[in-house]
Amino acid sequence: MSSTTAVQSPQKAAVQKWLDAFGKADATGMLDLLDDSYEHHTFPKSLGRSALNKKENGDRLRGMLPYFEKFTPQILDITEANNKVIAHVTSNTNTTFGVPYTNEYIFTFFFGEGSTTGSEPKIIRCHEFKDSAFAARFLPAFMAAKAKAESKKA
């Protein structure tokens, strides 16, 4: 009986590192995997989110991630083809204000032909599809809990 070890592609390994950093709420670790030309698109479009460049995405991550306890992202499916990796992921955590965060995503990570630094490929674009019903409920609850916590400090 022969034994084979699955070899992970460099692109899939980069996505796994990104998801690991996401699970640790490590914005720097996530951003280190992005190309300077990076664009982040959030879907569905009905959420009204504009595309973000690498700096804007970094500002968003650094502004939000500190308010979350350790994430527990679970990869439900991951597929790779033609310089892209698609990951179906759920994430469960609480905010530091006690608001539960239980989102579901489809991330499509795109890699360019020349988007490699050293031996590690860089992500040039991400399409993030999120649970829009959850997002519509979460943000108002989060902002209200944050305002309440900040008013107690004052």
Give pLDDT tens digits for 86-144: 999 999 999 998 999 999 999 999 998 755 556 789 999 999 999 999 988 998 999 99
Flag whether 124 is in a domain.
yes
In a domain, 3, yes or no: no
- Could you tell me the CA-to-CA distances from 127 to 27, 94, 150 in Å, in that order? 17, 24, 33
What residue numbers bound the domain in which 148 lies? 10-153
Q: Is residue 1 part of a domain?
A: no
What total of structural domains would you count in the chain?
Answer: 1
Residue 108, pLDDT score: 98
* In-domain check, residue 83: yes
4 within some domain: no
Instruction: Name the pLDDT band for 3 (thresholds 50, 70, 90).
Output: very low
Q: Does a structural domain hold residue 113? A: yes
Q: Is residue 42 part of a domain?
A: yes
Give residue 2's pLDDT. 42
Is residue 127 in some structural domain?
yes
82: domain CATH number is: 3.10.450.50
Confidence class for position 12, pLDDT limits 50, 70, 90? very high
Choose the weakest-confidence range: 2-6, 32-36, 56-60, 64-68: 2-6
Closest of 154, 138, 116 to residue 64, by C-alpha? 138
pTM assigned to the model: 0.87
Enumerate helices (H) and strands (E) in the chain, giving the number of each: 4, 6
Task: Single out the residue of 75, 77, 66 nearest to residue 19, CA to CA.
Answer: 75
For the chain, percent helix, then strand, then coil, each to nearest 5?
40, 40, 20
What is the layout of strands, in order, in the sheet containing 84-94? 52-53, 34-43, 120-130, 100-117, 84-94, 74-81
- Return phi, psi of residue 127, to 5°: -105, 115
Would you state the pLDDT for residue 114? Answer: 58
